[in-house]
Amino acid sequence: MPSEQTACVFCAIAAGSAPAQVILQDPHTLCILDINPFSQGHCLVIPRRHVPWWHELSAPETASLFEIARQGANLLMEAFQPEMVTMYARGRRIPHTHIFLVPTRQGEVLDGFFNALERFQEAPTHLAGLGQPQALAEAAQRLLAAQKTR
């Protein structure tokens, strides 16, 4: 039975055993074209090491991942001249951290998705309460307490 890593398409790409259009790379990270793009130039930024969630990366891997994402976004802006490059971190469907870099223009499908998400964020009363000063103070307190236990 293959291990999770040997069955992972992103690990195969990082190992050079599966094809990909590599746009940028460094010792920790690859930026590749997505084979199921949301728009022309849609890239994925992936760590070479198999890590399901981005917050489980080492500090050097995290720095590399976001630096390659920044460089990739700048290339997308130059090559395709979108209004913006949408960045979206994933890892659920393919359990290997990956960041979507999607050249986006107003009115496109992904722009509509994020607009709908923002409207959802602003609408429900249970979420609106999370923005109240007392709720924000409580969240900050919990995060600062978690930081002290590290």
The model's pLDDT over 117-137, given as tens digits with 9 standing for 90+, comes to: 666 656 666 666 777 889 888
Is residue 10 very low, low, confident or very high in pLDDT (cuts 50, 70, 90)? very high
Which tokens hold the place of 1? 């039975």
* Beta strand segments in 68-138, E: 84-90, 98-104
Say how many Å lie between the first and final Cα of the chain, rounded. 37
In terms of pLDDT, which residue wins out, 86 or 117?
Answer: 86
CA dihedral 84, 109, 8, 79 (to 10 degrees): -30
**Cα–Cα distance measured from residue 73 to residue 42, given in angstroms and rounded to the nearest whole number:** 10
The pLDDT tens digits of the residues spanning 56-74 come to: 999 999 999 999 999 999 9
Per-residue CA distances from 78 to 12, 22, 42, 85, 126 (Å): 29, 17, 13, 11, 41
Residue 108: which residues within 8 A CB-CB, separation 6 or more? Answer: 38, 39
Radius of gyration from C-alpha coordinates of the chain: 18
Residue 143: how many other CB atoms lie within 10 Å: 9
Report whether pLDDT(1) > 50: no
The structure's pTM equals: 0.78
**Cα–Cα distance measured from residue 20 to residue 33, given in angstroms and rounded to the nearest whole number:** 7
Residue 48: which residues within 8 A CB-CB, separation 6 or more? Answer: 14, 27, 28, 29, 30
Query: Which fold is adopted by the domain 1-105?
Result: HIT family, subunit A (3.30.428)
Residues, the chain: 150
What residue spans define the domains of the chain? 1-105, 107-150
What does the pLDDT read at residue 2?
39
